[in-house]
Amino acid sequence: MDAALAEAARRLIDLALAEDLGERGDITSRFFVPEENRSLAAMVARDEAVLAGVEIAASVFESVDPDVTLTFEHSDGAAVSPGDTVLTIAGASRSLLAAERTALNFVQRLSGIATLTREFVRRVAGTGVGILDTRKTTPGWRLLEKAAVKAGGGRNHRLGLHDAAMVKDNHLAALGGEPAAALAAGVEALHLAFPGTLVEVEADRLDQARAFLGVEGVSVILLDNMSLDDLRAAVALRNDLAPAVKLEASGGVTLDTVAAIAETGVDFISSGALTHSARAADFGLDFSD
């Protein structure tokens, strides 16, 4: 994990453990499991899945008890099958029991995102199209969920409002004046303040796409909820007017439609479903007898 991801994970781990343990701690283990008992446990996949978050799960165990011994059997991005062990943990039985649910919650949520992303990527294989995530993430979980998208073979869109400019329909409505001219002025001002910052602009009609292709400094045009015919027409316009500009298709993208969208010739397809609609993958923690 890089430093930013590790720090984001640490904050969430602390919050999650405080939520689960409260002021009394794990009273079940405290009063029913002898303090001196030690256990060996295996985190095991119950589903076909793409693994994500295993290092974060390991950090949960270490947060509860720095003396646990961890052995990684698989890394993020690995395809796992039911019965596959991804992590083994040895240590005080009480510690393993106290960390169990929180560790599983992280790996199940993040592996679900990675698994869904891998399926989107598989369906566009051979087209050269990149699958992008969005900012439709669980509050506080963004860096973790975006790491899970990468584990599944997807690519990250901007991290937040701070690292790239994305002029969407509501911005255009608030601009006032002629959109392309106002957009050009905004791009110029942004690049004076923050040189090299990527600028993307949303278009939901072909006439908008044509106008925005003529604005210097726009790197990407988001084609929102366009039909397949309009997407193909937008690609032809781009190829003719501004070949360096990238095109991103978005809006209502599903596993059933993503291949046809990719075949229109766009460069990227973004989907909020990667993070807001992924089903959690099933993992369990099995203690050895």
Catalytic annotation, residues? 101, 136, 168, 202, 224
Number of H helices, E strands in the chain: 11, 12
Residue 90 backbone class (left: φ over 0; alpha: ψ -120 to 50; beta: rest) = beta
Q: Return contacts of 239-246, CB within 8 angstroms, 24+ apart.
A: 241/210, 241/213, 241/214, 242/213, 242/214, 245/213, 245/218, 245/219, 245/220, 245/221, 246/219, 246/220, 246/221
Query: Whose CA is closest to 286, among 41, 16, 55, 12?
Result: 41
Q: Are 132 and 156 in contact (CB under 8 A)?
A: yes
- How many angstroms separate the CA atoms of 268 and 134, rounded? 12
Tokens representing 25?
């701690």
Beta strands 268-270; 130-132: pairing state: parallel
With H, G, I as helix, E, B as strand and everything else as coil, classify residue 70: strand
